[in-house]
Structure formats: structure tokens, C-alpha cells
Amino acid sequence: MMTLRGLREFCIEKAIFLCGVAAVVFVLLIFTFLMREGFSLFFKIPMTELLAGTHWYPISDPPRFGILPLILGSLVVTVGATVLAVPVGVASALYIAEVAPAGIRDVMKAGIEMLAAIPSVVIGFIGMVTLVPFVKRLFGLPTGLTALSGSIMLGFMAMPTIVSIAEDAIAAVPTEYKQGALALGATRWQMLYRVVLHAASPGILAAVMLGIGRVIGETMAVMMITGNAAVIPESFLAPVRTMTATIAAEMGETVKGSLHYQALFAIGIVLFSITFVVNLVADIFLHKIKR
Amino acid sequence: MNNTQIVDESPVTLFGPIAIPGKQEPVSKTAQTCTDPEVLREKPVLEIEHFDLWYGTTQALFDVTMPIPSGKVTALIGPSGCGKSTLIRSVNRLNDLIDGVRYAGDMRLNGDTIYSPRVDVIELRKRMGMVFQKSNPFPMSIYENVIYSLRIDGENRKNVLDETVERCLKSAALWDEAKDRLDESALELSGGQQQRLCIARAIAADPEVLLMDEPCSALDPIATAKVEELIFSLRGEYTVLIVTHNMQQAARVSDFTAFMYLGRLLEYGPTKTLFVNPSLKQTEDYMTGRFG
């Protein structure tokens, strides 16, 4: 016979358990839903045509669902944003954690957190009215809505993630390492470069991966400033359309259950797979370094 | 950072007037009152002269004058908080990193002043090695750890690096255990091996003095014995200044011992003399475990 106290313990334990597994359950549910809605498309359209097709004409007759331009669009913007944000972000983290005097450190940390608080639509808007005309004039382009503009603005959005996580990793490097390096006659930069960055590399890698995750999943800002032309980008100065922007822009116009609707879910599956692989690779790499 | 020369006031000392052959400079008052003449007969590598140190407004070191003899092992003992770690960390100016530290007096390494605004601290630190309380091999391979000081000087010749690794690991009695795993992470070594690796790393640049800040305090007795054996074997080739809270350790490894108390150097002499026949009551009380 269960006592009242025993019952209470039992209920609390189960409630905590449910909350604990909820996150996992949600991921599985989302994945199942994505699969249910989009997977049947893979039977209707050959995989090669879908993934390697160079034309995305979902409402022409006959429609063509080649998502390669979209994948490349996402890739170009992500690579651009990463190349811009990672060096600046890591250097900024290094400055905040190791170089800046206490007063400046607090101001900078607060500033970076503010950057994270700016809604992406505002970033997109600011990019649209400032960066886009600037890029247009600078390169003499017909339009400033390019992959480059998107990369720069997304770089700003990835920065807070990269800086704050990398800063934590750098600040967590044991003082013993720093003193050891200095005692051996290392300059401050040699100490930072060869010992501190080295010791913090797993954390920095995690920061970079989370930054990439943020960029690849970002929708609103890229939709506003990359031009949304679903063609294979020829350079950073060409307009591109990302997978996320495509889903967001077109979902409202599709009929539930139609081929177009399923194609958008298929894009969702591809996007999910890419982020999954990015995280997996980061995880494997992190464990490798830890050992 | 003054370089004041202290005029000999021919003081009366515990040991009577001291005649130091070949020593030009007058010996300070403190040095005479607490330092055994046998220490002063040795050729010093490092000379600590009237050194005071403040953390903010708290004075941690009071007028410490202490020559460190060349090729010998000198132990610094004393109760916790007596300033022995502060003193050793002042030698390679690691205390510079702490906010609000002020100094007076000077130290000289083979005649070159350590405390002067003109001193290149980086160059200075390259001339010394340091081993810390907690072993701190860098998270890289054993090989890269040993040659760290060469790498930062831009040395990339494979034969020089290989030779240094072998020489230093042999000197640190780690070669046999590590020679087949030089490319493995140094963090996979045991605690005692890590500490010997840190010693190997510290001697890679042929330091003029090797500073050890309680190098065995985090080790088990067997690892401690090995490190002590190593320190003992380094004498002659290297000058070692070691801080320890373990008096048996000081007795086992050192030629000379200095007893510090409340930021002052109270007694400094041959280890045997200090342990068998200390001249101060405080030293004797500490040695016999009556306080500390």
C-alpha cells in the first residue's frame, strides 16, 4: 500500500521525468512530421532531379523542383557569414577574455548581448537601407541585394553566439597554463596564440558550430537582403535565395498536400539533415579533442 | 626599483665579522645577520637584494637579501603565508601580472638587474625555468611541450628539436617512459610524469636558475620520491631554488635552506646546519613542528 508521501514522491519523480524527455520527444515529433509531409515527394520526383536539379519553378507547368540553387544559396551565405564572423568573433572573444581591462570588458559584454537581442527583421531592415545601397554603389552592381550583403548581416547575427561562447571557453583556460607559458618567456601574444587558443579550441569550435547553426537557420534577414533569385549563384555579388527563405516565402501560397507543399517540406528535411550533420561533426570533433 | 648600494656599517653579527674572499660589494646588514658565511662563500647566480613587496597596502616581503649559490639546490621553507611563494614568483616577475603589486629593492641574475623599467621581462624569463605547484603541461603532445620555449623562439629545425627532446627528457628521467609516446597528449601522463615533463620543459632553454614552487605538493609519495631524486640529480648542472612546505623534502634535496617567517628571511645556511643546529629559536620551533 502506497503511503501519501510515497505517492507524492512518485508523482514528482514522474513529472520531472516527463519534462526531461519532452525535449527529445519534440525533436522526434518534428522529425516525424517533416518526414510525413515531405518524404512522399522523394517517390514522386527522382532524388537526383530534386537534389541536383538546377531549376526551381514550383508553379510553372510542368513544375520543376530542383533545389540545388537553394542549397547553394544557403551554402554561399553561410560560408560568407562564417568567414566574416569567425575571425572577428574569436578575436573579439580573446580581447574580452584576456586583454580588455575590467571596465571595458563589462561594456563590451553588454554590447554584444545587446546585439543578440536585436530581432532579425530589424537587422534585415537596417541591412536593406544601409548595406544594400552601399554594396550596390561600391561594386557598381545593378542591385545590392546579394549574397555578400546577406553574409555580412548574418555575420553580425552569428557574432554574439560566437563571441559569448568562445569567451567562456577562453576564460575557462586554467591560469596555470598562462603562467606556465609566460614563465617560459612567451610574449602575451605567443601565450594567447599557442596555449590559450589551443586549450580553448574545443569550446571555440563549439562556438563556431553554433554560429553556423544560427546562420543556416536564419530566415527573415536573408529573405530581406539577398534578393531571393532562385538561380545558382555565380559569385558573392549575385542575388541568391536560401532554403529557409524559400520555405518562408512560399508556404503561404501552397495548397496543403500539393506537390509544391511537399517540396517545401522536402527542403525542410534537407535543411534538418544539414544542421544535424553539422552538429554531429562538431560533436565528434569535440570528443576527439577531449580525448 | 632602486639599486641602492648599502654602505657597510661593520655591524656586529651572530657569526662575527665576515670576510668574503673575492667579494667586492659590501654585504648587506640583513644578509650578515641571518645568512651563514658558508652561503656567502659560494658564487651566486641570483642575488636578491633588499627586496620588499606590497600587495596593495599589505607588505608581503620585508627587506629580503639572499644570494642563491650557483649549481646548488636552495630550499625556501616556512609556514604558509610567510612569503616564500611570493619571493620565488618575484624572481621571474610573475607577480607583475597581479594588480596593485609594488616593489622596492632589486634582484640580479648573473649581474643583470631584474627590477628596472628598462628590463625586457620576456628575455629575462627566457633565462629562467619555472615549475609550478600544480603540474601544467599544455594540452599538446609530449614532444611539443618539451620544445615549447624553442618554438616560441622560432626554432623549427627537426634535428635540434629532436635532440632537445631527448636530452631534456633524459635529464628529467622521463625518457624511458615517454620515448615511445612522444606524439601522445601530455595530459595522458600520470601526475608525477606530468610534473617531470614540466621540469623537462623548464630545462629545455638551459635556464640559469630553475624555480620550483612546491613541485611535489600535489603528488603521491612515490611520484614525489621520483621528482626529488630528479631535483637531487640536477644539482651541479642547474641552479635550483625550490619552495617547499615539506621540511623532510628540504632536508633531502637541498644544499642550502632558507627559513622565512612573516615576510622576512630569518635564517639561511647549509641545510645540515639549519636542521641540526639552527641559530634561532623560531627556526628550531618550526623545524620541530611547534608551529607552522
**CB contacts < 8 A (A, B):** 67
**Whether A78 contacts A236, CB under 8 Å:** no
> A101 — contact with chain B (CB < 8 Å)?
no
**Predicted complex ipTM:** 0.78
- Min CA distance, B79 vs chain A (Å)? 23
**Closest residue by Cα to residue A211 from A97, A106, A83:** A83
Residues A184, B130: C-beta atoms closer than 8 Å: yes
Q: Verify whether the Cβ–Cβ distance A185 to B148 is below 8 Å.
A: no
CA–CA separation, A63 and A71 (whole Å):
18
Distances in whole angstroms, Cα of residue B272 to Cα of each of A212, A214, B7, B18, B99: 65, 67, 31, 20, 39
3-state secondary structure labels for all residues of B20-52? CCCCCCCCCHHHHHHECHHHHHCCEEEEEEEEE
Hey, are the CB atoms on B92 and A183 less than 8 Å from each other? Answer: yes
H helix count then E strand count, chain A? 14, 2
Helices (H) and strands (E) counted in chain B, each on its own, are 13, 10
A174 inside 8 A of chain B by CB: yes
> Is B148's CB within 8 Å of A199's CB?
no
Task: Name the residue of chain A whose CA is nearest to B144's CA.
Answer: A194
pLDDT in tens, B79-112: 888 899 999 999 999 988 888 899 999 999 998 9
The confidence score (pLDDT) of residue B292 equals 56
pLDDT in tens, B266-285: 999 999 988 888 888 888 88
Q: Using CB atoms and an 8 Å cut-off, which of residues 195-234 of chain A contact chain B?
A: 195, 198-199
Q: Decide if B129 and A183 are in contact by the 8 Å CB cutoff.
A: yes
pLDDT at residue B24, rounded to an integer: 40
pLDDT in tens, A191-223: 998 899 988 988 888 889 888 888 998 888 888
Helix axis angle, A259-290 to A68-94, nearest 10°: 30
Amino acid at site B172: A
A165, A206 contact by CB (below 8 A)? yes
- Check if the beta carbon of residue A211 is closer than 8 Å to that of residue A158: yes
On average, the pLDDT of chain B sits at 85
* Closest Cβ–Cβ partner in A176, A179, A190 for B152: A190
Phi then psi for residue A202, to 5 deg, are -60, -45
Q: How far apart are the first and last CA of chain A?
A: 49
Burial of A136 (0-12, 13-18, 19+ CB in 10 A): middle
Give the integer Cα–Cα distance in Å for A134 and A127: 10
**Chain A residue whose CA is closest to B198:** A180
SS3 B105: strand
CB contact under 8 A, A199 and B139: yes
Per-residue pLDDT of chain A (291 residues; tens, 9 = 90+): 668 888 999 999 999 999 999 989 998 999 899 888 888 888 888 888 888 888 888 888 888 888 899 999 999 999 999 999 999 999 999 999 988 888 899 999 999 988 888 898 999 999 999 999 999 999 888 888 999 999 999 999 999 989 998 998 899 898 889 999 999 989 989 999 889 998 898 888 888 988 888 899 888 888 899 888 888 888 888 889 999 999 998 888 888 888 889 889 989 999 988 888 888 877 776 676 554
> Which residues of chain A does B207 touch, with a Cβ-Cβ cutoff of 8 Å?
none
**Using CB atoms, which residue from A180, A186, A198 is nearest to B152?**
A186
User: Residue A116 has what pLDDT?
Assistant: 86
Using 70 as the pLDDT threshold, list the residues of chain B that sit under it: 1-33, 291-292
Radius of gyration of chain B (CA): 19
For residue B277, the tally of other CB atoms under 10 A from its CB is 10
Query: What is residue B291's predicted lDDT score, i.e. its pLDDT?
Result: 67
Instruction: Check if the beta carbon of residue B261 is closer than 8 Å to that of residue B282.
Output: yes
A1 and B CB contact within 8 Å: no
- In this prediction, residue B33 carries a pLDDT of 62
Are B148 and A181 an interchain contact pair (Cβ–Cβ within 8 Å)?
yes
Contact (CB<8Å) B126/A182: no
Q: Domains, chain A, ranges and CATH?
A: 44-290 (1.10.3720.10)
**Which residues on chain B are in Cβ contact (under 8 Å) with A291?**
185
* Distance in angstroms (rounded) separating the CA atoms of residues A183 and B89: 9
Please tell me the predicted confidence (pLDDT) of residue B99.
84
How do beta strands B58-69 and B44-55 pair?
antiparallel
Q: Say what the pLDDT of residue B13 is.
A: 43
Q: Rounded to an integer, what distance in angstroms lies between the CA atom of residue B126 and that of residue B128?
A: 5
B90 vs chain A: nearest CA distance in angstroms? 11
Q: What is the pLDDT of residue B74?
A: 94
pLDDT for A288 equals: 62
**Rounded to a whole number, what is the distance in Å from the CA of A167 to chain B's nearest CA?**
18
Question: What dihedral angle (degrees, nearest 10) is formed by the CA atoms of A78, A82, A83, A89?
Answer: 160
**How do beta strands B73-77 and B240-243 pair?**
parallel
Grid cell digits, residue B240: 635550483
